[in-house]
Structure 1
Amino acid sequence: MNKKLSRFFLPIILLTFLSAFAWHKFYVSVSQIDYVPKKKRIEITTRIFIDDLEKALEKKYKKKVYLTSKRELPEAETLIKNYLKENIKISINKKPQDVEFLAREVEGDVLIFYSKIAISKKINTLEIFNSLLTDIYSEQQNIVHLNINSNKNSLLFTNSDTQQKIDY
């Protein structure tokens, strides 16, 4: 009888244990930063999971925003821009830059944001502050891929490491 019970319960316990890993959410944003000398600007593309951003906006602004739905608040665009400006900051050659939000689009369960920085001088140093969603998720990781002056790099920002600098 004991063997029969273990044959029945062991697979259920194992399945429950393994499924806990499958349901664990992965907290990540990905940004691509490219310097385009011909256009005299830096182009930034940022991808964030909709539900994660929605939760961050709701916590910060104390209102449900219903991103990408018919119920989206009219001020959602402004709230998003403010949140992005507060949590992504870029300095070039030790001078803080104005990141201009251009547009957003939806791709599945991800919001994609397009931004730019007008820049006419050669980039010698680039400093990035990225704290997207770290106030909501302690395990949040923000990956930034860079292509500056034909040099490709990738940086990882976490709750404890929100600022990094690269010299070119």
Structure 2
Amino acid sequence: MNIQKLLLLLFIIPLLSSSPHKYYLSLTQIEYKNESRSIQISINVFMDDIEIALNKKYQIDLQLTSNQELKNNDDYFKKYLKEKLHLKINDFPKEYNYIGKEYDGDLVYFYLEVENIDDIKSLEVENTILTTYFPKQENLLKTKIYNKYQSLLLTAKKTKGL
């Protein structure tokens, strides 16, 4: 390799590595548990993104994982998720219960459950989590219903499917 190519590489690599590009992605996993007749849902999102979205939407200061974290932050999470995640099972809208959340590194995991589901013939999911404040947000949806796996990538333009 000649010296000019080497110098060019040494100049370009630092520029590429320090470019302020961020990828916006959440993962929603939905699994039907036949033995408990329930659908269990877990959602993981980046902590800073959900914090920014809720702070803007509700004019609050969540300060997640700090000493000043709001004591009633679960109320805001529940309210936000009820607005942004909708399920239809067998063509009927279904409500889910908010079980809780946990922090792991820079992620927040939310746990939800739909009870008393005897049979699933069809499932439709609408997920607009974080798309209002982050137009490039992508919400990956993975399902396991009766040992059948499906995946779908939802965006601000394509908000529902399955």
**TM-score, normalised relative to structure 2:** 0.91
CA drift at 1:20:
3.9
Q: Deviations over 1:123-163 (max 9, x none)?
A: 11101000010011111000011001221000111010001
* 1:162 and 2:156 aligned: no
For 2:5 and 2:42, the matched residues in 1 are separated by 51
Runs of 4 or more, structure 1, over 6 Å off, are: 6-9
Q: Percent identity, aligned pairs only?
A: 33
* 1:102 shift after superposition: 0.4
Question: 1: CA distance between counterparts of 2:93 and 2:21?
Answer: 37
Aligned equivalents of 2:13, 2:49: Cα separation in 1: 27
With the length of structure 1 as denominator, give the TM-score of the two structures.
0.87
Q: How many angstroms does 1:75 deviate by?
A: 2.2
User: What amino acid maps onto 2:137 in structure 1?
Assistant: Q
Residue 120 of structure 1 deviates from its aligned partner by 2.9
User: In structure 2, what is the equivalent of residue 62 of structure 1?
Assistant: 59
CA contact (8 A) 2:43 2:109 kept: yes
Q: Secondary structure at the match of 1:39?
A: coil
**What's the counterpart of residue 41 of structure 1?**
38
- Counterpart of 2:111? 114
Q: Kindly indicate whether residue 140 of structure 2 is the aligned counterpart of residue 143 of structure 1.
A: yes
- Which has the larger Rg? 1
* Alignment deviations for residues 36-86 of structure 1 (CA, whole Å, 9 cap, x no partner): 010010000110110000000011001211112211112211001100111
Aligned residues: 160
Q: CA deviation at 1:9?
A: 7.5
RMSD: 1.9
What's the CA shift for 1:12?
5.9
Instruction: Give the letter for the 1:41 counterpart.
Output: S
Residue type matched to 1:30 in 2? L
Contact preservation (8 Å) 2:39, 2:117: no
Q: Equivalent residue for 1:17?
A: 15
Give 3-state SS (helix, strand or coil) of 1:38's partner.
coil
Q: By how many angstroms is 1:11 displaced?
A: 5.2
Structure with the higher fraction of residues in helix conformation: 1
Cα shift at 1:119: 3.0
Is residue 74–residue 100 contact of structure 2 (8 Å, CA) maintained in 1? no
1:9, 1:120 → 2: CA distance? 63
Structure 2: gaps spanning 5 or more residues: none
What is the rounded CA distance, in whole Å, between the counterparts of 2:9 and 2:89 in structure 1?
56
